[in-house]
Amino acid sequence: MNIRGIFKHVFSYSLMAGMLLTSCSGKKDPAKPDLVVVVEEELIKLPSDWVKATSLMSGFPKGIEVYKRTAAYNTKAMNAYCVVFDPKSSDLEFKPVLPAANKKVSDLYAQEAGTKYVCLNGGFFGTNASYSLVMYNNAVLAPNIKSLNRTYNTVSTAYYPTRATFGMAADGTTDVSWVYNVGTGNGVVYSYTAPAANEINTAPAAQPGVSSPAGATIWNVTSAIGGSPMLVKNNQVNVTDKQELIDIDNTSSRARSAIGYTATGKVILLAVEGNNSAGGTGLNLAELATLMKEMGCVGAVNLDGGGSTTMMVNGQQTVKPSDAAGERPVMSAIVIKKK
């Protein structure tokens, strides 16, 4: 039995003995205070392959933890880090950020004012432009891509995809949904219970609006980060890459980033190393979805991966960038910092 186990048994026997003596004496010494036992709720219980990375947690407040996994996944070499935090903590802030131009995650971490703990790359992008929703404190900084062209009947045709997005309300409640920015400019963010029924080589679905696709409603979140595709929805693996018209080496092993939340409302940020023969080979989308589900996520969204996957924790880089040139400048990121 380890030291913790011995302590627990000694504590239990001492507590029982104290209760028995009090009961037998029939009276309590008024000069002695009652024994108060405080049971602290565990932040998360991950599968045993995940080990707490305490060396990265110096100065962290209660409500945020870092874990590392090096055990193989589906026989694939694995090097992955996850950050788990309580979005209802009064000490922590979830902040999606959008720079004016492409920037490395390490630079975004460094330039963020105040005490910051984590920075993970966000959604998809081009040169100085985000293709994924970035929303912070009710302000839409960048919309999800509103249309893209695919070949249909040999003609370049406009499609209007609903893309998977992670959002958080003012009270820390979390959600993942397929969303579309309805209206001109950044529009109004609408959420749908199912993705628009798009697919390559089929006629495009109607442009999403205030009443369709199914379950259309204004999304009740204040901050959000977009990605694609959905990985887990309603506690079920549900990879909707075809409907979201997203092709990101879906069936190949690549570095991956993801965000999700558990049944108890804790948020998981994940970075999986890829293209590193001495570290991690990466995962395909189906494996990533299954991994997030195994970690306890009831909702999860894929973020940009490959050379974009970068996670800074407490000023240190975690997974090795998969690009030979090193870190890739990105156009959005997630910062977890002190409120």
The model's pLDDT over 133-191, given as tens digits with 9 standing for 90+, comes to 999 999 999 999 999 999 999 999 999 999 999 999 999 999 999 999 999 999 999 99
195 shares its domain with 329: yes
The per-residue pLDDT for range 28-66, each reduced to its tens digit, is 555 656 655 545 578 999 999 999 999 999 999 999 999
Q: Closest Cα partner for 337 from 117, 64, 105? A: 117
Do 72 and 50 lie in one domain? The reply is yes
Residues 233 and 260 in one domain: yes
Q: Report yes or no: 223 and 135 within 8 Å, Cβ to Cβ.
A: yes
Q: What does residue 223 show for φ and ψ, rounded to 5 degrees?
A: -140, 145
β-strands 64-69, 129-130 pairing: unpaired
| 20 and 98 both lie in a single domain | no
- Gap between the Cα atoms of 272 and 282, Å rounded: 6
At residue 42, the pLDDT reads 84
Q: Does 334 lie in the same domain as 247?
A: yes
Let me know whether 152 and 56 are in one domain: yes
Write out the residue range of the structural domain in which residue 302 sits: 45-338
195 and 264 both lie in a single domain: yes
pTM: 0.89
Residue numbers in the chain where pLDDT is lower than 70: 1-40
What the block records as the tokens of 287 is 């494996």
In the chain, how many domains are there?
2
Instruction: Say what the pLDDT of residue 41 is.
Output: 73
Judge contact between 104 and 332, C-beta under 8 A.
no
Same domain for 19 and 158? no
Strand partners, 267: 85, 261
Residue at a domain's end among 24, 39, 54:
39
Same domain (yes/no): 20, 54: no
Greatest CA separation for the chain: 91
**In Å, how far are 51, 67, 86, 107, 293 from 47, measured between CA atoms?**
9, 11, 19, 32, 11
Structure confidence at residue 291 (pLDDT): 99
